[in-house]
Amino acid sequence: MDAKLLREATRPEHEATEAMVPLMHPDLTRAEYVVVLQRFYEAIRAWEAVAARRVPPAYADLVRQRSRRAALEADLRFFQADFRSDLPAGVVEQIEHLLADAPADAPEQAGRFLGAMYVVEGSTLGGQYIASHVESVLGLTAGEGTAFFRGYGSSTVPKWREFQRVLMDLPDIYSDEAIGAAKEMFGVFRRCLSKSSEADQNALFMT
């Protein structure tokens, strides 16, 4: 499956999710930024909990090398902000549902899993732009309080290209499953972000 097809098919969901994040606002405050970090923490924590249980065996190493939870926890600690250890009610169930009730090694699960993962991985690219802006506006040292949006650092682009290669190996017959799961995963992020402050367009989820 071509990542370009997935990007075009999910453009409305992508844009609707971007519109809920105020991080590129020129007078962004620390309080607003911390709220967004907390909302992302809900989504990422839920995704990683479900992914660890439902990952198709062929993608186990791919997932294991891409945990983002620790970076978010580091950012929240930097700002001395609260974050919950328990999983957010409803969000885990929503992710479980988008992966469908089928064994992890079922062929169609590859499409659904990669579709959902596409949304999470795509956020690392747009995050590079966000991190630079946030550091400038809030007067932060690079990487301090922005570890999550810094993605995988110098490995961000190589890791994205690796993920694209995996996606390209997905048989086209499972494209609909990938597209459907990606749309639902954008919905997971919107569910978590719906508690945050006013919206603004930005470069998040640049895929």
> What residues contact residue 62 under an 8 Å CB cut-off, 6+ apart?
117, 162, 163, 166
How buried is residue 86: exposed, middle or buried, by Cβ count under 10 Å (0-12/13-18/19+)?
A: exposed
Tell me the pLDDT of the chain averaged across its residues.
Answer: 90
**pTM for this prediction:** 0.90
All domains of the chain in start order, with CATH: 3-22+31-82+107-193 (1.20.910.10)
Q: What is the rounded CA–CA span in Å between residue 45 and residue 55? A: 15
Report the pLDDT value the prediction gives residue 161, as an integer from 0 to 100.
94
Q: Kindly report the number of other CB atoms within 10 A of residue 141's CB atom.
A: 8
Can you tell me the mean pLDDT for 174-199?
86
> What residues contact residue 17 under an 8 Å CB cut-off, 6+ apart?
186, 189, 190, 193, 204, 205
Quick one: which of 159, 75, 165 has its CA closest to 120? 159
Report the pLDDT value the prediction gives residue 84, as an integer from 0 to 100.
74
